[in-house]
Amino acid sequence: MATTKKNKNYRPIGVFDSGVGGLSVLLELKRVLPHENFVFLADQMYVPYGEKSKSVLVKRVYKIADYFQKYHNIKMMVVACNTATVYTIGELRAKCSFPIVATVPAIKPAAQKTKSGTIAVISTPVTAKSQALKDLIKNNCKNINVLNVGCSHLENLVEQGILNGDYVNNLLLKYLEGIKDSDADCLVLGCTHYPFLKKSIGKILGSRIQIVDSGEAVAKQTRSLLLTNKMKKNPRSRGANLYFTTGDSAQFSKVASKLLKKKVKAKKVKI
C-alpha cells in the first residue's frame, strides 16, 4: 500500500537526552502537542554528557539519529539536552534530512522579562563554559548583567530521582546563595534535569526571582516546525508515547514514573 501524507504525519517525533532530564521537555511537548506520537530515548550508558568530549558526543548523537530513523521512522527530532545542543547541533543538522529542534538555555526570554537588569543562569559546568552560552548572553543581554553558575552533581541527583532532602537543599544553597543575595529577578534553568528541582529551588529563592526554563519554547518551536513542514498529526486521537534507555530499564522506569507522576515502562536498547 502506498504511504499517504496522512500516514506520514502519524510518524513519531524522536526526543532524546543523556538521561531523565529530557522528560521535562517531553512534558511540555505533550502539553502543547497532545495528539502527536513521541519516542523518548535516555542515553544513560553515557550519562552525564557534560563529562564527555565533543567527538564522543557527536558519535553518540549520530548513532541515536540513525536508531530513531531506522527503528521508528521519525518525522522530526528534539534534542532535549543543552549539552548535546551546544556541542553537536550543527553536525546533526548537516547529517539528518528531518527537522531538528534544539534546546538552549532560555536566556532571551529571561532578558525580556527582567526588570532589575540582572539575570542568572545555572547549568552543567560544560554548558556554563561553552562558547554557545557565551554567544547567547552576548546576543541577547546587552546592558543586562548575567550571573553564570556551573553546577556539579545536580544532574546525577535527578537521575536517581532524588529531588529534595537535606543533601539536595545544601547543594542547591551552595549554587544559589550568591544569586539569592544579588539583584537578579530571573533564574534560567540551563539543564533539562533542573525543572524537576524547581520546587526545591523556589523554596530557597522565594517569590522575588522568577524561574525560567526552555521546555515551553522548545514545544512551541516544535509545533511551528510541524506546521511549516505540513507534518502535524490529525487531532482526532491522542498520541502514544514509547520510552527507551541504553541503561537500566527498571531503574529508568522507576525514576521516570516518579518524575512524570504516572506509570512508565521502558525498554532497554543497545545503540
- Active site (catalytic) residues: 81, 191
Give the C-alpha distances (Å, rounded to integers) separating 28 from 61, 108, 119, 159: 22, 19, 23, 19
Grid coordinates of 208:
522575588
Are 32 and 94 in contact, with CB atoms under 8 Å apart?
Answer: no
What angle in degrees, to the nearest 10, is found between the helix axes of 54-72 and 82-95? 60
Strand order across the beta sheet in which 186-189 lies: 145-150, 118-123, 186-189, 210-212
Backbone angles phi, psi at 77, to 5 degrees: -130, 140
User: Element (H or E) spanning 58, and its range?
Assistant: helix 54-72
